[in-house]
Chains A and B, each alone.
Chain A
Amino acid sequence: GENVEQHPSTLSVQEGDSAVIKCTYSDSASNYFPWYKQELGKRPQLIIDIRSNVGEKKDQRIAVTLNKTAKHFSLHITETQPEDSAVYFCAAGGGGGNKLTFGTGTQLKVEL
């Protein structure tokens, strides 16, 4: 089955700096890669997703890149703000039904 690895597990940045989180996946049949933000005690919320027919997607301060050959994808957050502090999960899906395989999460802390 699919295996998703995510790094780093924790990330601290200064407000205004950029943050990058990286994930790798194992199943070449996976073709859908969402990113979720989860605040403490709350549900995961989709912030951006990318499908395998594109290499990059951007939405305001958030961008995701996908390298299918290398089987890795990354989340980029620019001009970070304190409200960006949360746990971020990458996921991969589409290779076997519609279930998602999640990474282990990155605790992002944006410091003033």
Chain B
Amino acid sequence: NAGVMQNPRHLVRRRGQEARLRCSPMKGHSHVYWYRQLPEEGLKFMVYLQKENIIDESGMPKERFSAEFPKEGPSILRIQQVVRGDSAAYFCASSPRQENTEAFFGQGTRLTVV
């Protein structure tokens, strides 16, 4: 059973470009969470999705950031018009059901904006 798969592992974008981060949850998991980790800081919740639904996006910046989890395919975190402050590690986690269950993390995507 493959773990949570994220790609790419490393992504370099110039200011103003778009970044697309992908996350395939573990088999059988229908809940996906995105977290952002700035250098030498903790993980900050961004968004919680189920298939075709955004459940909680309270941690998402109001502009330039969006997320989706379509019926088929991976979850996508999209950052438009990236700025240097977007440079961070973005981790995806998945779990099999909603409450009080272990969240398994992917290896993360390290975004560098130059």
Please give the residue numbers on chain A whose beta carbons come within 8 Å of chain B beta carbons, in ascending order: 1, 6, 31-32, 34, 36, 42-46, 49, 51, 89, 93-94, 96-105
The residue that B43 contacts in the complex, of A6, A46, A49, A89, with Cβ under 8 A, is A89
B59: interface (CB < 8 Å): yes
The residues of A that contact B99 with a CB separation of less than 8 Å are 32, 94, 98
Residues from 11 to 44 in B contacting A, C-beta threshold 8 Å:
31, 33, 35, 41-44
The docked-state distance in angstroms from the alpha carbon of A1 to that of B48 is 15
- Min Cβ gap A23→B in Å is 11
CB neighbours (8 Å) of B98 from chain A are 97-98
* B52 neighbours in A (Cβ, 8 Å): none
Report whether B42 and A94 are in contact in the complex, using a CB–CB cutoff of 8 Å.
Answer: no
Contact A102 B42 (CB under 8 A): yes
A44/B100 in contact, CB under 8 A: no
Q: In angstroms, how far is the closest chain A Cβ from the Cβ of B36? A: 11
Known interface pairs A44-B91, A98-B99; 8 further A-B residue pairs with C-beta atoms within 8 A, sorted by A's residue number: A31-B100, A32-B100, A43-B91, A89-B43, A99-B33, A100-B43, A104-B42, A105-B41
Question: With A97-B56, A98-B95, A99-B33 in contact, do A46 and B45 touch (Cβ < 8 Å)?
Answer: no
Known: A43-B91, A97-B56. A102 touches B108 (CB 8 A): no
